[in-house]
Structure 1
Amino acid sequence: MFALTRKGKTIIVLLGILFSLIGPAQANPRYAAIVIDAENGAVLHAANADASRYPASLTKMMTLYLLFEAMEQGRMSLNTTMPVSAHAASMPQTNISLRKGDQLRVRDAIPALIVRSANDVAVVVAEALAGSESGFARRMTAKARELKMYNTTFRNASGLPDNQQISTARDLATLSLRLMKDYPAYYHYFSTSSFTYQGRTYRSHNRMVQNSPGVDGMKTGYIRASGFNVATSALREDRRVVAVVMGGKTAQSRDQHMVSLIDRSIGRATQVARVSAAGAPAAERLVVSTRTVRQTVRQAPQTQAPQTPAPAVVAVQPVSLTDNSGWAVQIGSFRVPEQARDRASDAARRLGDLAQAQAAVTEVEISNRKLFRARLIGLEENQAKSACQRLSRQGMDCLVVRL
């Protein structure tokens, strides 16, 4: 044995710091990560984003997606009861100790999947929707293809170990975004910190929702083969990002790395937006759709046939970016303003009873590319969520954002 000198201890400490600065991908072969701007889909960070990984309990996000879909289609409701089979009751921890013959309500199943990450509940939902877990897994994989998650295959509803159940950080970020966009009325469940069932209170595994500024969802996961995974959505400085980190060595180190990625990515996205915004006066960057269309009609030569104005359900007063407050529904980002204007007008037409909404087009620059965002603005939070939900049912992609 030998004693370390002060100099030797200092060298060891410095080596430790240096090792901590080496990219996680080099130090950990299970590591993968991606951060996406939720408003426009821009990738703000990626490392091994398309490498095959085990999703673990992030699988339950797809289980929830299909449950929400069934609820939207009227096949299930919060009060629907689902039978517990022997197979479901046999699922290992984590679970909520369901027994064969029990009846579980959907309103209890949702927080059990998110907060407790209950494997027995995942099977109950799978069997209720598809008759068997294996049949449900096939539906999960088919839905993954429909959502353009081309590198994902599901074999069970829970994320318990299966060598053939694989996904990628990019695919799971896509699923996270689609949960938010397709079923905004249910997104609030992902911020649930605890729930009580049969007299027992369960606390969330997702510490980031309580401890990380701006984080308001989504889901954690762990099996030995995957390491510690997390999918996260965060809103800061009027920017929302969705991020996935896979293969963490501990839950704490995974969360710390996620916070670092969110900090850097939101800072980068905000800086790009500010640089873009500085390029033109606010009144030039924000165009109220109906005003633009009506001006086109007035200025058209008399020899041309008059154009049909957009629906008169939105305000026609100019709106500056600094005037914006409240919530909006983002319909999409487009390369030309006419496409964005038409899309926003179409959305307004579909929501003709939402008289206070304003169809607007904002100009942004992302990665040196000019884009035009179609939005409905001037809404309260509940109005924006309801509007997006209605548009989604009509096949129109949308996202609820805070202005």
Structure 2
Amino acid sequence: MLCRDTGPSAHACAPIHRGGHQNAPLAEDVWPPLKPKEELMGITNRAITTTLVAGLALGLAAGVARANPIANPTIVVDAASGRVLQQQDATRPWYPASLTKLMTAYTVFKAIKSGRVDLGTPIAISPLAARQAPSKMGYPVGTMVTIDDALKMLVVHSANDIAVALAEGVSGSVDSFAAEMNANSRALGMSQSQWVNPNGLPDPRQITSARDMAVMADAIITQFPQYASLFQIQTIQSGNRVMRTHNALVYRYPGTDGMKTGFICAAGFNVVATATRNGRKLITVIMGAPTPKERTNQAVSLFEANYTNSGGGFFTKAPLATQLPPSAYPGPTDIRDIACSRKKGGSGAAESADTAEVLPGGPGAPVPAPEPSPLLASWVTAPPIAVGPYLGPRRPIYSLPNTPILADLPPKPAKELPTSKLAGKKGVTAAGYADPGKSLAVPDQLTDSKLSKGRKNLKKAAESKPKTPPKTPAKTPAKPPKRKAHHEG
């Protein structure tokens, strides 16, 4: 049997047999490499080579996991069949962090399919949404965005405030939306998942497992293929803000399709990733990596190990993800002492922001990000009625008309403009967001040609003025110093 569980659930691992290779060695049989003493005991170099070919790929992935001193649930699933290719503690309860947003997106997709909302439906930033901790867009209360743009901000920037706005706009409240999330989990067979919020901010009641997240990813792929490009977006732009995906695999591993990263101190660094090679799509889930770099390296190793084992299927009798038995662990392991050991003064609010990995240059460095997919490109003067319970003041709705989810533009490196440089400037809010209350012109009233003509006229007027030397201020005579008063005693 292939059983990588090392905890109390080890006895419950499902057997996975290899077709035609019942006696083939497991990764544990060949990792670490054989010692010289064993080589002297009659094992030929040819035999060693044969053993390594059969198990080295899986050994690489196992070696990465073994170097990690903490629990580290992982799973690799073939998307076409839903069968498990490799797993370690895959049913162990874990905190999902921002992987929650995959279920949030799935729930929104179902609402769109049912006709309750559509991609053009406006949603408002309520006071509750505005209070959410980072990562966030930071829009003022009353700002309205379309569901189309909200989904991009949810997936690419992992915006917690947008997740709440989506929940309120689709279901009326966070509690009602969470109830829909839980109903969807039960329908999909995600028996270890429980949801209480749409963004994954710390809550001890919000749990899942690597197995359940693989089932979640498979459901999105099979039920809503029309949204595949949403998870492939690398960069988005809102006003002057440029935001890049936290998923380094889209730059590091060829064939990566998405999907989502997640991080809170208690959970460590999580990722659900999909990749396609030669028409074969794999789903890989990593939970509890101690660093973003370790998370990426583990995912690459797992993809390579299972693609190396041929597209025909190395494990022909592997169980479906939903057939794995539950773990004996009663609840998630809190690993904040390891995942956040280098953070100073971190709290549940600050720790929740996902962390983008900075990759070194040279071979294997990330390719330049494509031109950002613009968000909120235009606005109208009269906002329509918002969907959701928020009844306070509203700002104009922003939309992205006739623009595909994934911009088809040539690669171009994107530079992020810190919002702190924008704050306080005329016509720009603290979030770097165009403020229609500051006399900004509507796009159809102020065209580029008019702007260009106006600049030329200003330049011409400046050149026509006679140049006069600057006036020097007249010198005034210095006043005599005041005498100090003498007080007689």
User: How does the TM-score come out when normalised to structure 1?
Assistant: 0.62
Alpha-carbon shift at residue 92 of structure 1 (Å):
1.1
Question: Does 1:367 pair with 2:317?
Answer: yes
Alpha-carbon shift at residue 34 of structure 1 (Å):
0.3
Indicate the SS of the match to 1:112.
Answer: helix
CA contact (8 A) 2:64 2:298 kept: no
Question: Does 1:92 pair with 2:133?
Answer: yes
In the alignment, what sits opposite 1:324? Answer: none
Give me the whole-angstrom Cα distance separating, in 2, the residues matched to 1:269 and 1:43.
15
CA contact (8 A) 1:28 1:247 kept: no
Question: Does 1:221 pair with 2:171?
Answer: no
CA contact (8 A) 1:30 1:226 kept: no
Give me the whole-angstrom Cα distance separating, in 2, the residues matched to 1:162 and 1:30.
20
In the alignment, what sits opposite 2:447? Answer: none
Give me the whole-angstrom Cα distance separating, in 2, the residues matched to 1:126 and 1:368.
37
Give me the whole-angstrom Cα distance separating, in 2, the residues matched to 1:268 and 1:254.
22
Question: Does 1:172 pair with 2:122?
Answer: no
CA contact (8 A) 2:74 2:87 kept: yes
Alpha-carbon shift at residue 254 of structure 1 (Å):
0.7
In the alignment, what sits opposite 1:199? Answer: 240
Q: Percent identity?
A: 36
Give me the whole-angstrom Cα distance separating, in 2, the residues matched to 1:246 and 1:366.
26
* 1:289-337 residue CA offsets vs partner (Å, 9 max, x unmatched): xxxxxxxxxxxxxxxxxxxxxxxxxxxxxxxxxxxxxxxxxxxxxxxxx
Alpha-carbon shift at residue 172 of structure 1 (Å):
0.2
Alpha-carbon shift at residue 142 of structure 1 (Å):
1.3
CA contact (8 A) 1:25 1:48 kept: no
Question: Does 1:62 pair with 2:98?
Answer: no
**Which of 118, 125, 132 lines up with 2:166 in the alignment?**
125
Give me the whole-angstrom Cα distance separating, in 1, the residues matched to 2:313 and 2:186.
32
In the alignment, what sits opposite 2:323? Answer: none
Question: Does 1:248 pair with 2:198?
Answer: no
Alpha-carbon shift at residue 26 of structure 1 (Å):
7.5
Give me the whole-angstrom Cα distance separating, in 1, the residues matched to 2:150 and 2:69.
34
CA contact (8 A) 2:255 2:277 kept: yes
Structure whose residues are more often strand by fraction: 1
Structure 1: unaligned runs, 5 residues or longer: 1-19, 274-364, 370-403
**Which of 289, 296, 304 lines up with 1:263 in the alignment?**
304
In the alignment, what sits opposite 1:336? Answer: none
Structure 2: unaligned runs, 5 residues or longer: 1-60, 320-489
Structure whose residues are more often helix by fraction: 1
* 1:224-283 residue CA offsets vs partner (Å, 9 max, x unmatched): 00000000111113211111001011111110110000011122242547xxxxxxxxxx
Change (3 A) 1:21 1:177: closer
User: How does the TM-score come out when normalised to structure 2?
Assistant: 0.51
Q: How does 1:268-347 map to 2 (within 5 A)?
A: 268-270=309-311, 272=313
Give me the whole-angstrom Cα distance separating, in 2, the residues matched to 1:198 and 1:50.
42
Give me the whole-angstrom Cα distance separating, in 1, the residues matched to 2:71 and 2:205.
16
Indicate the SS of the match to 2:207.
Answer: coil
**Which of 263, 271, 278 lines up with 1:237 in the alignment?**
278
Instruction: In structure 1, give the amino acid aligned to 2:317.
Output: S
Instruction: In structure 2, give the amino acid aligned to 1:367.
Output: K
Give me the whole-angstrom Cα distance separating, in 2, the residues matched to 1:146 and 1:26.
37
Please identify the structure whose Cα radius of gyration is greater.
2
* 1:357-381 residue CA offsets vs partner (Å, 9 max, x unmatched): xxxxxxxx92399xxxxxxxxxxxx
Question: Does 1:212 pair with 2:162?
Answer: no
CA contact (8 A) 1:209 1:215 kept: yes
Aligned residues: 262
Question: Does 1:51 pair with 2:92?
Answer: yes
In the alignment, what sits opposite 2:73? Answer: 32
Instruction: In structure 1, give the amino acid aligned to 2:258.
Output: G
